[in-house]
Amino acid sequence: MDTHNIAFVTDSTSDFPEGVAERLGLHVIPIHIVVDGNDYLHGVTISNQEVIDHMKNKSDVKTAPPVPGEYSALYERLFTQEKYDKIISFHVSDVLSNCYKSAKNSLNLLDEKISKNIKIIDTKNASVGQALIVKKAVEIVNKYLIFDTLEDNIDKYMKHCPMLFTIDNLYWLKRAGKANIFSAVIGSSLDIKPIVGLKDGKLYQNEKRMGIKAAIEEIADITAKSLDKYKKVTHVWIAHADAMDNALYLESKVKQAMLTEVDDFQIVDIGPTISAHTGPGAIGLAAIPDEPY
């Protein structure tokens, strides 16, 4: 199989370091960001920083997936105009967003000759976690020239790509209607910071610490312990919402805590899929081992 005839698609919910999506040849479809009733396209008509600025100004910020027609239009263009033979489309956790459902529904709008050559994959992750899984999947396809068995080949990476983050201000969770997930800390001291994990596509409260620095240190320790059983770790990507100083602090703590080798540290902006719910100051990371077993 000629991998040049496979198109790789992902939602803009995946947060890549600058230039990586382009290097991988990804076709990124933007999610919708609705600010005070005005609809923007993420990364096209509104940036990550602009979303944060709107939140700081107390604007009403919401996110919405592309509608099925937007996905089908992209898929059809890739087949008919850009002459791809197959498409692999990667999406944010189905539990967190309707992007995956919308992409699946878009297949009903396409001719069967096209739809049967499209693979829709729920990465069961988000932000930098989603990006790392997409990157690994593209590398696997390019190396082993596979299509039909891709899910089996990337499943082990999806299960071993921990993502953790913490929130600087619980106000944003309350405003986004997510307070029920973290009922144990809502109403406590304002300096209590929940450490949020993402497993099997679902958010859960991992730990809680007093103060953002302590929460960051705990994230570093949890990450190191979860990855130390592997011979080598290739990527640790840190994401932040207007919190570069804390991102650098997390990087330094992870480097101190890790016993296994890390080839690639990156710091990127958290996209609005996460930041619209967690607010400015949120920070976290995802990591993926070179070989999980």
- Assess whether 103 and 223 both reside in one domain: no
First to last CA, the chain: 27
Query: Nearest-5° angle of CA 174, CA 176, CA 179?
Result: 40
Which pLDDT score, from 0 to 100, does residue 187 have?
Answer: 46
| Positions in the chain whose pLDDT score sits under 70 | 1-4, 173-190, 231, 293
Query: Where a domain ends, among 132, 155, 178?
Result: 155
DSSP line for 113-127: HHHTTEEEEE-S--H
Total number of domains constituting the chain: 2
pLDDT tens by residue, 93-124: 999 899 999 999 999 999 999 999 999 999 99
- Assess whether 172 and 275 both reside in one domain: yes
- Give residue 247's domain range: 163-289
Alpha-carbon 284 to chain mean position: 11
Residue 147 is assigned to a structural domain of this protein: yes
- Assess whether 142 and 222 both reside in one domain: no
- Assess whether 7 and 151 both reside in one domain: yes
Residue 244 is assigned to a structural domain of this protein: yes
Alpha-carbon 222 to chain mean position: 19
Helices (H), the chain: 20-23, 48-56, 68-80, 99-106, 112-115, 127-144, 150-159, 171-175, 212-227, 244-257, 272-278
